[in-house]
Amino acid sequence: MEPGNETRISEFFLLGFSEEPELQVFVFGLFLSMYLVTVFGNLLIVLATITNSHLHTPMYFFLSNLSFVDICLSSTTIPKMLVNIQTQRRGITYAGCLTQMFFFILFVVLDDFLLTVMAYDRFMAICHPLHYTVTMNPRLCGLLVLGSWIISFLYTLLQILMVLQLSFCANLEIPQFFCELNQMIQLACSDTFLNDIVMYFAAGLLAGGPFIGIIFSYLKIVSSIRGISSVSGKYKAFSTCVSHLLVVCLFYCSSLGVYVSTFATHNAHSSAPASVMYTLVTPMLNPFIYSLRNKDIKGALRRFLGGNS
C-alpha cells in the first residue's frame, strides 16, 4: 500500500487466538456456550426485575441496567469473533472496526459508571437509611443512568473522532479478537501523541474517578456497619453489598489484567486472553453472583419461569 494513500484502507485483520484448526473448534464451542449463558442469564435478570413489582427499587433498577449493558458489551465483540472462526476469515471492514470500537468503549465506560452508581445507592441505603427513599427517588435514579449514558457517549464519540484523524499503513493486523482502541492507535503510522494523551488522561479520569468513588462509598459503609450493635444487623447490611463488591472486583481486576499482561510481557497478543475476562467472563458471572446471593432475585426468577415462589 502506498504511503500517500494510508487512510484509504478496506479492512483490518483480527488475529484472535490460535490458528490451529482443532483448537478453533474448541474455542468456537466454548465462546458460543459462554455467550449464550451471558445473554440468557442477564436477560432473565432484566425481565425478572421488570415483571416483579417487589423489585421496582433503585438497587434492582440499576442492576437491570447493568445486565442490559453487559448483554450489549458481549454482543459487540463475541458474535463477530464466532463468525470469523466459522468462516475462517479474520477480516473486519474499516467502518465495521470503528463501529465495533465505538460500542465497545461505550458499554465498558457505562459498566464502570453503573457500578459506581450502585455503590452510591448502597452508601445511601446503609449510611442514610432514613433519607434513602426520599433521596433515591425515581427521578434521581433516572438522571444518574441518563447522565452515565451521556458522559459515556460523549467520551466515546471523542475517541472515535480522534481515531478518524489517524493514517494507517501496510500493517493492519490487530492482535486481538476485536477492535480495541489501544491496538488501533499502535497500528497508526501518523503521529499519535494527542491520542495517547487523551486516552490515558481519560482512562485515569473515567476509571480512576469512579473507582475512588466506590472506595469512598465502601469506607463509609464499613464505618456505618461497625456502628451497628447487633450481629444480625451487621450481617444483613453487609450481605446487601457482597454481590456488588464481587462484581466490582471482577471488573477492575480483569480490566487491569489486560494492561498488566501487555506491559509485563511486551507482547500485544497476551492481552487477548485477558480481554476475555471483562468482555465475556465478567458479564457471564454477574447474573450468577446476584441471583445466588439474593433471595429476592431468586424468588423473582422462580415466579418468572413459572416455578413455585
Q: Strand 173-174 relative to strand 91-93: parallel, antiparallel, unpaired?
A: unpaired
For residue 83, what is its C-alpha cell? 463468525
Domain-located, residue 190 = yes
24 falls within a domain: yes
- Tell me the pTM: 0.89
Domain count, the chain: 1
> What is each CA distance from 294 to 223, 238, 239, 264, 297, in whole angstroms?
23, 12, 9, 38, 5
Which pLDDT does position 26 carry in this prediction?
A: 86
Residues 293, 243 contacting (CB under 8 angstroms): yes
CA pair distance 245, 113, nearest whole angstrom: 14
Cα–Cα distance measured from residue 74 to residue 107, given in angstroms and rounded to the nearest whole number: 9
Of the candidates 67, 100, 85, 115, the one whose C-alpha atom is nearest the C-alpha of residue 253 is: 115
Any domain includes 309: no
- Which string of b and e fits 255-288 if b means at least 16 CB within 10 Å? bebbeebbeeeeebebbbebbbbbbbbbbbbbbe
Per-residue pLDDT of 80-113, as tens digits, reads 999 988 888 888 999 999 999 999 999 999 999 9
Asked if residue 273 belongs to a domain, the reply is yes
* Cβ burial, residue 23 (10 Å; 0-12/13-18/19+): exposed
Q: Which domain holds residue 130?
A: 3-304
Q: Strand, coil or helix: what is 75?
A: helix
Name 92's bridge partners.
12
User: Residue 301 corresponds to which cell in the numbers above?
Assistant: 426468577
* Residue 100 placed within a domain: yes
Strands 173-174 and 11-14: parallel
Residues in the chain with pLDDT < 70?
A: 1-8, 18-21, 257-272, 292-293, 306-309
CATH number of the domain enclosing 273: 1.20.1070.10
- The 10s digit of each residue's pLDDT in 184-206 is 888 888 888 999 898 888 888 88
User: Is residue 202 domain-resident?
Assistant: yes
Cell of 149: 449514558
